[in-house]
Amino acid sequence: MSKIKFHSGENVPLEMHKVRIVQKLNLPPVEDRLKAMEEAGYNTFLLKNRDVFMDMLTDSGVNAMSDKQQAAMLEADDSYAGSETFTKLENKIKEIFGTEYFLPTHQGRACENIISQSFVKPGTIVPMNYHFTTTKAHIVLNGGRIEEIFIDEALNLTSDNPFKGNMDLDKLRDLIETSGADKIAFVRLEAGTNLIGGQPFAVENMQQVRKVCDEFGLMLILDASLLADNLYFIKEREEQCKEMTVREITRTIADLADIIYFSARKLGNARGGGICTNNRDVYMKMREYITLYEGFLTYGGMSVREMEAITVGLEETMDEEMINQGPQFISFMTEELIKKGVPVVTPAGGLGCHINAMEFVDHIPQSAYPAGALAAALYIVSGIRGMERGTLSEQRDEEGNETLSHMELLRLAMPRRVFTLSQVKYAVDRIAWLYENRKLIGGLEFTEEPSVLRFFFGKLTTSTDWQNKLVAKFKADFGDSL
């Protein structure tokens, strides 16, 4: 809810920034969009940006930077070793998280690689509130497996539970007791749980998870990539934190973790990433991998300009009026779609607006990738690029069987401070039209299927000629309009 009320009573998110640099957008005609989709193998990752009107694929590395971030980038101190820019970043992290040691990486999955190589041994288990694609891939690559111990409500797509990202404490304890604490590599808690709709955890839940970890001598690792949204929801929804500043909440959370890692493509509105800890042994164990895989310890694969931008971006994340922008726009879009009857994930979370494809195209079986088909259809009718988060984003098991996802979501990311309200209204309009014409959408099948992270490069085709029927209906209804 915006702090600024409209006299009309309307709940309109208000931008707390002004736009001073703009980028021209292109909206190709529907026939060209169909051609672009076909060329991209019905995979929105493979579309060219010049064919995309609203890029809602992700918020990763595409949030708008502030004038202060841009200015800081000009001041960067370029050197391989001992850069002043790195020291600034290290100090900012120390100030915000209270952690002594910082290892820079080129992005979030690099942290996952290093953490997994350091602590996941064959046969070990990593319990977590929910997995993220790259996290799971790295754990599995190192011989471990994940166990998702989300609360039952997490998978309830239309819920009013304010903290669907919480961990189920009884299930966590059960898992540790039945498998033995020595089999647990570490416990991982993800802020703003990406794959279940950007849903937050509560500080209270993390405090309880910490207690369980202490009882069994386990490390608690926080994936803080989506911490900004999670902080906003905690401040809004958690009674014990209402009077706390964002900085105080951040510190409370950080003090509960043994290791914090983050993708700075998300946290800090820049690019890059890093791992923070107060534990020297843990730091020393991971340190050698940084120089092997990332770069020297004072840049870790990041440019100095990126590091300057993160330092300022992290400070700006402590501002409630900055971190509220994403969630408030997402909430607006979600509410507008609900008014039009479109099935969406509630409560509105962070990161983006999530459409429930299982219900939107309930005539498409999971084996024909309903969320992928919906993503392709939406692009064709609007030029909007979203991301499939469902079975296509899963990996086949060792026998080659499909792993059916718990959810089939079309994620429409809301890069922070990037879109205007009229663009969001355009998206709502086209999605509502597509919903009315949903029966025209059909399934997809692979023509090229990579074995690892197949959603990035895989190519698909339509199982029937549904795409041409959809375009014909679009033209009948919209005439000359793009």
CA 383, CA 391: separation in Å to the nearest integer?
23
Q: Which of 111, 427 has the CB closer to ligand PLP?
A: 111
By CB under 6 A, is residue 413 in contact with ligand PLP? no
Q: Which of 286, 441 has the CB closer to ligand PLP?
A: 286
CA 321, CA 427: separation in Å to the nearest integer?
24
Per-residue contact flags (x/-) with ligand PLP for residues 128 to 147, judged by CB under 6 A: ----x-xx------------
Distance of CA 30 to the CA centre of its chain: 29
By CB under 6 A, is residue 109 in contact with ligand PLP? yes
CA 334, CA 424: separation in Å to the nearest integer?
10
Q: Which of 274, 343 has the CB closer to ligand PLP?
A: 274
Q: Which of 225, 328 has the CB closer to ligand PLP?
A: 225
By CB under 6 A, is residue 60 in contact with ligand PLP? yes
The one segment of 19-27, 101-109, 317-325, 461-469 that binds ligand PLP by CB under 6 A: 101-109
CB 341 within 8 A of CB 334: no
The one segment of 79-87, 199-207, 220-228, 290-298 that binds ligand PLP by CB under 6 A: 220-228
How many of the chain's residues bind ligand PLP (CB under 6 A)? Answer: 15
Q: Which of 225, 298 has the CB closer to ligand PLP?
A: 225
By CB under 6 A, is residue 260 in contact with ligand PLP? no
When CB distances to ligand PLP are compared, the closest residue is 108
CA 60, CA 282: separation in Å to the nearest integer?
28
Which residues are designated catalytic? Answer: 80, 132-133, 223, 266, 389, 455
Sheet (strand 352-356) strand order? 352-356, 409-413, 387-389
Parallel, antiparallel, or unpaired: how do β-strands 384-385 and 387-389 relate?
Answer: unpaired
By CB under 6 A, is residue 230 in contact with ligand PLP? no
By CB under 6 A, is residue 226 in contact with ligand PLP? yes
CA 379, CA 355: separation in Å to the nearest integer?
14
Cβ of residue 175: shortest distance to ligand PLP, in angstroms? 21
By CB under 6 A, is residue 194 in contact with ligand PLP? yes
Cβ of residue 333: shortest distance to ligand PLP, in angstroms? 19
What angle is formed at CA 339 by the lines to CA 335 and CA 345, rounded to 5 degrees?
50
Q: Which of 198, 383 has the CB closer to ligand PLP?
A: 198
CB 366 within 8 A of CB 407: no
By CB under 6 A, what part of segment 163-192 binds ligand PLP?
A: 190
451 Cβ partners below 8 Å, 6+ apart?
395, 396
Helix (H/G/I), strand (E/B), else coil: 54: strand
Q: Out of 44, 107, 124, 250, name the contact with ligand PLP by CB under 6 A.
A: 107
CA dihedral sign, ordered 127, 129, 131, 134: negative
Parallel, antiparallel, or unpaired: how do β-strands 384-385 and 54-55 relate?
Answer: parallel
- The DSSP symbol for 438 reads G
Cβ of residue 120: shortest distance to ligand PLP, in angstroms? 15
Parallel, antiparallel, or unpaired: how do β-strands 125-128 and 459-462 relate?
Answer: unpaired
**Cross-strand partners of 97:** none
Q: Which residues bind ligand PLP (CB under 6 A)?
A: 60, 107-109, 132, 134-135, 190, 194, 223, 225-226, 263, 265, 273
